[in-house]
A and B are shown apart, each in its own frame.
Chain A
Amino acid sequence: MHFLNHLTKKRTAEGANSNVFSMFEQAQIQEFKEAFTIMDQNRDGFIDKNDLRDTFAALGRLNVKQEEIDDMLKEAPGPVNFTVFLTMFGEKLKGADPEETILNAFKVFDPEGKGVLRKDYVTQMLTTQADRFSPEEMEQMFAAFPPDVAGNLDYKNLVHIITHGEEKDQE
């Protein structure tokens, strides 16, 4: 997953924490253990290349290059078992960016404040820079949140639905 990449960099910058379990409460650790188990599809106690690749595929990122996965795994001190997982994911597994933050991120690309963005502009914005979206991911987003007939994506609506939909599903 992509925030794995992001976090890996963060972790190496701060140095490895050997007693990662002391960072969390027992109950939290149990919860992360469950998330780990869900991701560990073949139930062997490790998240390996196949688990990562399958998860990518399920998220629309097909044909992830072997090198990319290897790079990610290289950052980890060994195979990604639960302890390593906890170090990498723990803090980021829960919590969400507030709606405001994401809206402001979109507004950077919509300086006139129209509330919509052109579909091809969004595509360019997300697939050509930073943590690039794959064509499949882009397709998936437009399938879930279709632009209107004129080709405009209502990003306010998108952000609202995801933020509040998530809230509703968490209750």
Chain B
Amino acid sequence: AACSGASKALKSAVLIQRWYRRYMARLEMRRRYTWNIFQSIEYAGEQDQLQVTLSTGISISIKSQNNVLPDLISQLLDPVVDPWLDRETCYNLIQIPESYAGPRLSFPLSVSDTNALLNAFKEQQTLHARYVLQLLYETKKLLKQMPNVIHLSTSYAKEITICGDLHGRLDDLLLIFYKNGLPSAETSYVFNGDFVDRGKKSIEVVVLLFAYLLLYPDYMHLNRGNHEDHIMNLRYGFTKEVMQKYKTHGREILQLFQDVFSLLPVATVIDGKILIVHGGISDQTDLDFLSTIERHKVSGNRQPTLASSWKKGDAGPHLNPLSSLLQIVDILWSDPKTQEGCSPNTFRGGGCYFGPDVTQRLLLQHGLQLLIRSHECKQEGYELCHGGQVITIFSASNYYEEGSNRGAYIKVGRELVPRFYQYQVSRTTRKLTLTQRVRAAEGSALRALKEKLFTHRSELMSGFEQYDHNNTGSVSVSEWALVLETVLRLDLPWRTLRPHLARLAPDGSVEYHSCFEDMVPGNPLTQVTPNLAETLFRYRTDIEIIFNIIDKDHSGLISIEEFRHTWRLFSAHLGVDIDDRAIDDLARSIDFNKDGSIDFTEFLEAFRVVHKLDSKDQHLNGKTDREKYS
């Protein structure tokens, strides 16, 4: 009897252990594909921007660009002429109203200025455009004197703190300063790129970093990231943030940022032993060549720049401007991989995947012992690979979603042994369990994914219909997955995700209409054809920026004629066939109060996608001013 009792206990224990472990494994799977979703969507967007695709260094193929609106926006912004910005009087002419309660800076900066900035930003104040411009102008002057590769020494700086991507997260930067100390002679910093885009406080982050750079050029060091680039800024929020916060001087400010970003150093070396770059390396990386490039003339992103530097042939002592471009693109965009070798980074559309052999070779070649890079979000804020020779450091906590990841920074002293410090900005005082965090992140990822589906509805529907010969409204799971993968070009586990995205018919096939059931437009515009609606959804952010540019008096209104004119530009650039009549109908339908001008905030409201299951959104989406005026 005792025997069977013991074996029963054993069996039960096994059952419980196995069952619980399966649950944890499933949770881990969900966490991983959630991460996949976020990264795929993130990198798919970035891919549109990088116009130069690299093969293994022998030939260059120019990838056709899908989103041409950045070009249009650049055209609209370009009219502001450069030379004006190099003259001191540009910001001196700007009057500061008496009512301005924000920080007032005096140059050269002192600690009281940086403290004033810290306090002001904590209080949600905005720095006046005049000071932003002056700060940028001074930063530009300083950076011009700096080499491409900065060499630091621990005998001078003692302990150096290295931080990764911040992406406009002011809270994370303030947390780092709080935990680790403000930049000073005792506390040196290297910030490894991607200060802006995505987060809502990019301006505050980058102003603080530049301010400390000006204050302590010997203790504060900044590397350029792939987001320190005006094309990325157009897509990922920095341009929008500047235009919104600085309505009058936004364009000049953006222009100066463009100059400053291109002047940022691209690499930092500590004690000749630790190399710090934003993305990574390739098998072509040559630190000596890198030091000689005229970095501000080379951009990893713009085709016209490439063409013009070809024409001028003045991208440095080397005759081939292309190799300069490649060096910088590799540094800013590459990612490490586990297999050996070096292959094009197809995920990102630029730079390479570099293997442990590439790392080892480069370190050996230059007498280095460690490569520190950023560029990829990591759950713990940092990650080692290539046998510990490569460290990824990422400093924006909760990057994808509340609770998605920690942020971290590295400290090195004279012994050059890295120590890791982690943190996480938290909105709630209640700690979420692993399950809750996974569920929250998963929900967020799925919503982003559903929006993608919705904004490509027409293409997807015609894809599905091609397989649905008998017009049954359903296709097989494989066909469904194939259409999604082809249209959206996202490499995701569609079958695993299917239960969250679409309904099955009783026979096991997918009812493809159900993909779009959850989502409705904010304010349905009845005059708008589906094709046009989707285009507007997809390019919402760009359209908003363009409206802000056109709206010179910042009234929130543009005239119908301006609207029509802009619209014709859109359709020409986007290659979308929208005839004039459709545009007129559109204009008339959104001129809600019939006074000849369009409130574009209301217009854009129509293209905010609402998730039906989101009761909070439904409440906000209730009655609009439109009802009042009709």
Which residues of A does B touch, CB under 8 Å? 1-3, 6, 26-27, 30-31, 34-35, 37-39, 41-42, 44, 50, 55, 58-60, 96-97, 101-102, 104-106, 108-109, 125-126, 129-133, 137, 140-141, 143-144, 162, 165-166, 169-171
**CA separation between A169 and B436, bound complex, in Å?**
11
Residues B17 and A162 in contact, CB atoms below 8 Å apart: no
Chain B residue contacts of A125, Cβ below 8 A: 9, 13
Chain A residue contacts of B30, Cβ below 8 A: 169
Chain B residue contacts of A42, Cβ below 8 A: 337-339
Chain A residue contacts of B13, Cβ below 8 A: 105, 125-126, 129-131
> B22 interface residue, CB < 8 Å from A?
yes
Residues B493 and A38 in contact, CB atoms below 8 Å apart: yes
Residues B23 and A31 in contact, CB atoms below 8 Å apart: no
**CA separation between A168 and B65, bound complex, in Å?**
41
Residues A3 and B339 in contact, CB atoms below 8 Å apart: no
Residues A130 and B21 in contact, CB atoms below 8 Å apart: no
Chain A residue contacts of B16, Cβ below 8 A: 102, 105-106, 126
Known pairs A50-B338, A97-B19, A109-B9 / 17 extra A-B pairs, C-beta < 8 Å: A2-B18, A2-B21, A30-B495, A38-B33, A58-B31, A101-B15, A105-B12, A106-B12, A109-B12, A126-B13, A129-B13, A131-B14, A131-B18, A143-B434, A144-B433, A166-B23, A171-B499
**CA separation between A162 and B92, bound complex, in Å?**
65
Segment of B49-57, B261-269, B476-484, B549-557 in the binding face: B476-484
**CA separation between A42 and B8, bound complex, in Å?**
41
Chain B residue contacts of A162, Cβ below 8 A: 20, 23
Residues A133 and B17 in contact, CB atoms below 8 Å apart: yes
**CA separation between A104 and B11, bound complex, in Å?**
11
Residues B28 and A165 in contact, CB atoms below 8 Å apart: no
**Chain A proximity of B354: nearest CB distance (Å):** 14
A140 with B434: in contact, given A30-B481, A37-B493, A126-B16 (CB under 8 Å)? yes
Chain B residue contacts of A106, Cβ below 8 A: 12, 16
Chain A residue contacts of B435, Cβ below 8 A: 144, 165
Which of B25, B26, B30, B434 has the most chain A CB atoms inside 10 A of its CB?
B25
What are 26 A-B pairs with beta-carbon distances under 8 A?
A2-B21, A3-B18, A30-B477, A30-B478, A31-B496, A39-B29, A41-B32, A42-B337, A44-B339, A59-B21, A96-B22, A105-B12, A108-B12, A109-B12, A125-B13, A126-B13, A130-B14, A130-B17, A131-B14, A141-B20, A143-B433, A162-B23, A166-B23, A166-B26, A169-B30, A170-B499
Chain A residue contacts of B439, Cβ below 8 A: 169
Chain B residue contacts of A35, Cβ below 8 A: 29, 493, 496
Residues B19 and A102 in contact, CB atoms below 8 Å apart: yes
**Chain A proximity of B449: nearest CB distance (Å):** 15
- Give the nearest-CB partner of A129 in chain B: B13
Which of A27, A55, A104 has the most chain B CB atoms inside 10 A of its CB?
A27
Chain A residue contacts of B496, Cβ below 8 A: 31, 34-35, 38
- Give the nearest-CB partner of B13 in chain A: A130
Partner of A27, one of B18, B442, B495: B495
> B10 interface residue, CB < 8 Å from A?
yes
> B36 interface residue, CB < 8 Å from A?
yes
**CA separation between A35 and B476, bound complex, in Å?**
19
Residues B21 and A27 in contact, CB atoms below 8 Å apart: no
**CA separation between A28 and B413, bound complex, in Å?**
54
**CA separation between A126 and B15, bound complex, in Å?**
10
**CA separation between A130 and B23, bound complex, in Å?**
18
Residues A129 and B28 in contact, CB atoms below 8 Å apart: no
**Chain A proximity of B504: nearest CB distance (Å):** 11
- Give the nearest-CB partner of A2 in chain B: B21
- Give the nearest-CB partner of B495 in chain A: A31
**CA separation between A34 and B29, bound complex, in Å?**
10
**Chain B proximity of A83: nearest CB distance (Å):** 18
Partner of A26, one of B15, B17, B36, B478: B478
> B24 interface residue, CB < 8 Å from A?
yes
- Give the nearest-CB partner of B25 in chain A: A1
**CA separation between A31 and B508, bound complex, in Å?**
14
Residues A34 and B495 in contact, CB atoms below 8 Å apart: yes
Chain A residue contacts of B36, Cβ below 8 A: 38
**CA separation between A97 and B435, bound complex, in Å?**
19
**CA separation between A169 and B444, bound complex, in Å?**
14
**CA separation between A106 and B17, bound complex, in Å?**
11
